Amino acid sequence: MKNRELGRSGIRIAPIVFGGNVFGWTADEARSFSLLDRFLERGFNAIDTADVYSAWGEGLSGGESETVLGSWLARSGRRDDVVLMTKVGMWREREGLSAANIEAAVNDSLRRLRTDYLDVYFAHIDDDKVPLDETLTAFNKLVEAGKVRALGASNYSADRLREALKVSNEQGLARYEVVQPRYNLHDREDFEVNLASLVQEEQLAVVSYFSLASGFLTGKYRKAEDILGTARERMVTDYATERGFGIVAELSAVASELGAKPSQLALAWLLSRPAVTAPIVSATSLAQLDEILEASNLSVPADALQRLDKASQY
């Protein structure tokens, strides 16, 4: 398994990132600890979370994922073995990208994570109410102070990302090195048309979220009736179209021919994309985690990738 570099940061990660949105939500502390132990045992090292995780859960308010992850880091003593990513800007308690909010939010995250530095700190969402130079100067101060090693931008448009990179260059500030876009075999157009050329031109890393389209690309849903009444009905309804089910049908057929699971093939397709560094994927059981991690070992012939490209054309 070959590690991949995060932009020009000098940080290297294994080719799948563990999505920490499940910690303290659909995976309790004990289950989260087991998943994290297994993830590192398998040779992977990058973990993504956010201060807002999982404020949407019943009885939860945000900060739960970072708290669970911090407890695991303290118990395991594996902080130096982990590339730790978290985010600021989306949580109602610490909303936006003003300098004051970034300073307060990073200290809160460090406290919950029980560490004195972050490997990657993301702007979770663009904030056009705050000048880019204010946001980037605040982030730069964190890098200079040693609280953050590298910066990332999540959910930025190509135009705003380009503008942010220009501001960093002109003012001598630390730049965004990692981009976190929504990108998967179904959701292709926005990234491929607008962002892909920019990130490659600027040598930025890409860690994609919704890599399995909220579970739609696991192959469990072959027709609309399969979605009705499920826990993920609200999350996958938008994928339940003729195009969506056509993608799943071809994905499942190719996976069967390769002796693989649809989820593994969907991730392997992402790993084959020249602009993608590593997809972010979550799991709530050891069996599910082991299954998705095998995607990094899946060799997919060129003709199989072409079939998937054709089936998922926008």
Active-site choice (53, 176, 183, 221): 53
Please write down the HEC assignment for all residues of the chain: CCCEECCCCCCEECCCEEEHHHECCCECHHHHHHHHHHHHHCCCCEEECCCCCCCCCCCCCCCHHHHHHHHHHHHHCCHHHCEEEEEEECCHHHECCCHHHHHHHHHHHHHHHCCCCEEEEEECCCCCCCCHHHHHHHHHHHHHCCCEEEEEEECCCHHHHHHHHHHHHHHCCCCEEEEECECCCCCCHHHHHHHHHHHHHCCCEEEEECCCHHHHHHCCCCCHHHCCCCCCHHHHHHHCCHHHHHHHHHHHHHHHHHCCCHHHHHHHHHHHCCCCCEEEECCCCHHHHHHHHHHHHCCCCHHHHHHHHHHCCC
Task: Check if 183 is active-site.
Answer: no
Nearest CA among 20, 14, 77 for reference residue 46: 14
Residues annotated as catalytic (active site), given as ranges: 53
